Amino acid sequence: MITEKGKTFVVSTEHTSYMMTVLKTGHLVHLGYGPRINEIPDPAQFLGPEPAIVGTVCYWDDDHPGVIPTNLALEYSAPFRGDNREAALVVDYGNGATSLDLLYKGHRVYEGKDISSPISLQPEDGNETLEIELYDSATRISVTLSYTVFPCSDVIVRSAILENNTKNDIVIKNIASMQMDIPSDGWTLYSYDGAWARERYEHRRELQPGITIIDSKLGFSGNEHNPLIYLENSKGEAYGFNLIYSGNHRELVEVSPFGKTRVMNGINPYGFEWKLAPGEYFTSPEAIMVYSKNGREDAALSFHSFINEFIVSGKWRKKERPVLLNSWEGCYFDFDEEKVYHLAECAKELGAELFVLDDGWFGKRTDDTKGLGDWYTNRDRFPNGMEAFAERIRSLGLIFGIWMEPEMVNMDSDLYRAHPDWIISHPKRRPLPCRHQFILDLSREDVREYIHDSVALILNETRAGYIKWDMNRAVSDLYSFSDENHPIGELLHRYIFGLYDILGRLKKEFPDVLFEGCASGGNRYDLAMLMFMPQTWASDNTDLYDRVSIQEGTLSGYPLSTMGAHVSASPGHQSLRVSRIDSRFNIAAFGVLGYELDVTRLSEEEKNAIKDQIAFYKKYRKVFQYGEFRKLRISDNQRFWYTTLGKTTIALEIQTLNEVHTGRNDRLYLPIAEDGKMYRISARKEYIPSSFLGDKSASYGKNTTEDFVAEVSGTILREYGLVLGPQFTGKEFQDSTRILGDFGSRMYVIEELG
Ligand code: DGJ
């Protein structure tokens, strides 16, 4: 709901309100963002008398000596007009001049939302939008800020549209998607950072005066810093921000000398500029934001439901996703048709529903130095062609899925030999390689056509039901050989929009195909990719211990349904860590489950264990993919994950290292258990291989975990915890002895009774 009185605005979601007002000087200022209020506040009660600030800062004019731009909580800012903080909008409108007065000109409230960008979220019934135009009378440049609310959601969607009403070209140097000046300091910033194989680890920092920047310069949203951030204060209030964009992004937080905290996000100005001719406009990517008085975990749940409802679209929106087996870690490049067929046969026996043929099926691609770009079947490996192979997979009763990396090319490929000018590279430099590959220039129409046609051909020929769309490098040597001659500062943004153009077309033409985004694992895990591809491969690292951090970080902003998580071999190919197959499953089950190992070489016991895992996962698939994810940290060594849907919760107790002779019984907690309700708890049975117990195997005498069933009240389950059997402690086994081991875990199904 959006309400207004005079020039005071309240943008309300189900549980939150965002308030702004226009000062007499025309500045649009932020009043507060917090729990919902059903009134229009008197701005004076939020702003109070103008504080006395003296010294070197500029004031507005002699009629308004108390209006100090650098101390206002501005909704959007520009440089060199008294605000000394980082500016949301930097426009060169002539000879480097950038100063602007962004003052209120007008506003409108309407049902629906702006869709002027290819990645604008689609309008939904119940959308309401407030647009406020800020105008600089000296140049006639105007920027329109947009605030949209969605039905039954606490997320506010924001964007900024810049219009060039001048008579000359202007150049955008920076255009933030949103700015919010929180009228207080003392906030803690949470960001999700890493690199290949350790994506989205959560980091926290107490903010001090000055600027903190989280950004990507990789050309893509990147694995180094995700666009997701949170601010939390000591009262436990949290603000969450994310950006619907897959290119370079920047999240900037600035604590001012006067106790205010500015937050903005948008396209990273690094390497970016955009020429706007008279009469043209530029729409920023949309930003989403959320407030919660119960911390960032609660805020994350608002993001989760928003993504499931409004970001993911098409056939796979809110649909259960198939359990897959992917050929990569089981075969890498070493396979022929029969080998992968046997893998698929075995996967089917175990209960998988989708077989994904990963890298190595096309051109001369027998290793990663060659073949990328040549999207025709390697007939040495598949003598009867891919169409015939896909048919064989389907006749096993499996969906056929295929890997492609359409944005890239190896120099050793027919494509590169024919079109050396199609890659992003500088005419005077040797292009820097990365995994022996180079990036095709998607700002060019001929390149986009080639990519679209290659993918469409494979999908048509094979009738694949799934495609894994990979992208394995960072950008370098920014330059385009296109004869359209756009400024190089526009290239990365044009690239990303070129990608959206291809994906948009493919999504329309192949509405049933499930797209999974992948970029060396999680190098492009962002909201815009999720608009085209409902799920993303979270990380090439499938190690169960590292995955705890990777998946927790990912789930801080993205729902379970979007996150691919696989069970792979032991010792793990990234960590060499040894682990039990059920411990690996427990972690991978919190997401979209897959397997990525040579299942044909497993023991019969391990195969049976996988059969049980997949059957269990299918039974609770909705809970694993669409439940509300929560977590509870008991100590550095023990934590719980939960996913809850309706009356069912799956709880996972995760242990880092086995501690000996603690004399302690672990307890199972459910923080959302309710007073006056009863809960039935049962442990999922796990397979304990005799190799895991070694000499102790005979005295244990069985190869599964203990039976555990209990009923307990909500109050006990929430406040005191349900006591569990003791862990193995170096002596004899009893029926109740629990074996978790290092990096072990135990899964419990908790049903609310009645
Ligand atoms: C990187 C991906 O993240 C892997 O899963 C795999 O598909 C390889 N590329 C194949 O080259």
Distance CA 732, CA 726 (A): 12
Catalytic residue among 101, 181, 441, 470: 470
Distance 328 CA to ligand 1 centre (A): 7
Check residue 729 and give its pLDDT: 85
437: CA distance to ligand 1 center in Å?
A: 13
- Residue whose CB lies within 8 A of the most ligand 1 atoms, among 362, 365, 369, 540, for a mutation test: 540
Q: Is this prediction's pTM over 0.85? A: yes
Asked whether 666 and 706 are in contact (CB, 8 A), the reply is no
CA of 365 to the centre of ligand 1 (A): 13
**Distance in Å, CA 297 to ligand 1 centroid:** 31
CB atoms within 10 A of CB 467: 24
Structure-block tokens of residue 7: 């020039």
Q: For residue 541, report the distance from its CA to the centre of ligand 1, in Å.
A: 11
For residue 410, which of 355, 358, 455, 368 has the smallest C-alpha distance? 368
Q: Which atom of ligand 1 is nearest to the CA of 368?
A: 11
Q: What atom in ligand 1 is closest to the CA of residue 596?
A: 5
Taking the C-alpha atoms of residue 310 and residue 586, their distance in angstroms, rounded to an integer, is 29
Distance 401 CA to ligand 1 centre (A): 14
Among residues 101, 215, 298, 540, which one is catalytic?
540
How confident is the model at residue 628, as a pLDDT? 98
Query: 221 near 268, Cβ under 8 Å?
Result: no
Asked about 380 being catalytic, the answer comes back as no
Q: How far apart are CA 87 and CA 80, in angstroms?
A: 9
- Do residues 581 and 744 touch, judged by C-beta distance below 8 A? no
Q: Please tell me the residue having the least CA distance from ligand 1 atom 11.
A: 359
Based on the residue annotation, tell me whether 540 is a catalytic residue of this protein: yes
Rounded to the nearest whole angstrom, what is the distance from the C-alpha of residue 470 to the centroid of ligand 1?
7
Amino acid in the structure at residue 648: T
Query: According to the model, what pLDDT value does residue 585 have?
Result: 98
Element (H, E) at 449: helix 445-462
Q: How far apart are CA 501 and CA 531, in angstroms?
A: 12
**pLDDT (0 to 100) of residue 53:** 76
Per residue in 598-641, pLDDT (tens digit) is: 999 999 999 999 999 999 999 999 999 999 999 999 999 999 99
Ligand 1 atom showing the smallest separation from residue 468 Cα: 7
**How far, in Å, CA of 180 to CA of 156, rounded?**
12
* Ligand 1, atom nearest to 520 Cα: 3
* Pocket of ligand 1, beta carbon within 6 A: 328, 358-359, 403, 470, 472, 518, 520-521, 537, 540
Please, what are the averages of pLDDT over each run of 10 residues along the chain (754 residues)?
A: 97 98 98 97 92 87 94 98 98 97 98 95 95 98 98 97 97 98 98 98 98 98 98 97 98 97 98 97 98 97 98 98 98 98 98 98 98 98 98 98 98 98 97 98 98 98 98 97 94 98 98 98 97 98 98 98 98 97 98 98 97 98 98 96 98 96 94 98 97 93 95 98 93 91 97 96
d(CA 535, CA 522): 11
Q: Atom 1 in ligand 1: which residue has the minimum CA distance?
A: 520
